[in-house]
Amino acid sequence: MPRIARVILLRLLGAKTLGRLDYILQRQPKDAFGGPFNGQSFRQRIYWEIMKRGNFMAIVETGTFRGTTTELFARAGLPVYSVEIDPREHGFASQRLFHLRDRVHLYNSNSPEFLQGLAANASFPRSNVFFYLDAHVQNAQVYHKAPLVEELEIIFPSWNDAVVMVDDFQVPGTSYGFDDWGPGRNLDLACLEPLKYLELSFFFPTLDFRSETGGKRGCVVICRNQRTIELLRNIRTLRQHQDT
């Protein structure tokens, strides 16, 4: 389709409607990154082990994209809240997950505003919430710090017992892939230096990256209080990071 025709169609229908049509007409792949968690089977093991031990009341995701990992989250039987900044991708995910609308709540916004809204919502659980952060690309070129920092600045003061998994994060001493947006914006431990006052604890996958499947992207699991630290210490697929 010529570019001018695409622009006219976008204006007539709106990005969200086009996203729904993308799903219905199969114009975009459902699983662009190989499946949930970038098609990484060991990451899925980590997630399910956390779910079994955590007694969670809700799951929160930033970066819905096309709803692949969101769909996996819905299998836990918990309410899922997910945000996507791109209206067309939001439309795609909304159509894909329409049959789960009683359990999966989708939002079209940026992640900090979305998280602030949940923190201010008196009816939203104040404890036992699992967060999955994967909205790093949004405004990455204009952020002076990683968007992840702002997300964590909202999460931990609001949910002290939160367990947070971050996608695309550097695993120290390994060759797992991670997002690199330049100094201070890379997704690594250095970018989280401004959050030292929160006294966070970090856990990384125990598996060598060469044995992982799919995208072989790194991740970190973050918590704060002693209860959640002990929870993660008892998960064999994770190792606690020790400052040297």
pLDDT tens figures, 183-203:
767 899 998 999 999 999 999
Whole-number pLDDT of residue 8? 62
Walk me through the domains of the chain, giving residue ranges and CATH numbers.
Answer: 3-240 (3.40.50.150)
Nearest CA among 136, 112, 113, 127 for reference residue 187? 136
Is the confidence at residue 55, as pLDDT, over 70? yes
- Residue ranges in the chain assigned as alpha helix (H): 3-13, 15-24, 36-39, 41-54, 68-74, 87-96, 111-120, 147-158, 226-233
Residue 7 pLDDT level (bands cut at 50, 70, 90): low
C-alpha neighbours within 13 Å on the C-beta side of residue 203 = 25
Residue 13 pLDDT level (bands cut at 50, 70, 90): confident
Residue 172 or 145, more confident: 172
Residue 136 pLDDT level (bands cut at 50, 70, 90): confident
Please state the pTM of the whole predicted model: 0.92
Place of tokens 């093991």: 45
Whole-number pLDDT of residue 244? 53
Position 213: which residue type? T
Query: What gap in Å lies between CA 148 and CA 150, rounded to an integer?
Result: 5
Query: What gap in Å lies between CA 163 and CA 156, rounded to an integer?
Result: 9
Nearest CA among 35, 29, 37, 36 for reference residue 176? 37
